[in-house]
Amino acid sequence: MQQPVELLRDRLEHAFAIHTNRLNELTLRGSMTDPTTFEARVEAARRGIANTAQALRRMSEGTYGRCEACGTTIAWQRLEAVPHARHCSDCR
């Protein structure tokens, strides 16, 4: 049975766009809240962009869904919950 990876690709692309918009907004508005909160938000957006971009790259390379630590196939339920997951539930 073929897994609907395309659904996850859509979700990842959507998440990537959201994180990118958020980072743009933060950068445009500058630090209006306290610097610690601002830095944390920028960092969260950057991490979100990196996570989703890496997952999309793994999809195009054909390594998506494989645990980077033990090489096992990551459970579908885990990928559905965390589409950018790089490790199986045992290795995370």
Give the interface with Zn ion as residue ranges (CB under 5 A): 67, 69-70, 88, 91
- Closer residue to Zn ion (CB): 49 or 79: 79
The strand ranges marked E within 12-84 are none
- Closer residue to Zn ion (CB): 41 or 78: 78
Report d(CA 46, CA 57) in Å as an integer.
16
Alpha-carbon distances of 87 from 15, 60, 63, 90, rounded to whole Å: 19, 18, 12, 8
Cβ at position 67, least distance to Zn ion in Å: 3
- Closer residue to Zn ion (CB): 14 or 92: 92
Cβ at position 69, least distance to Zn ion in Å: 5
Cβ at position 66, least distance to Zn ion in Å: 9
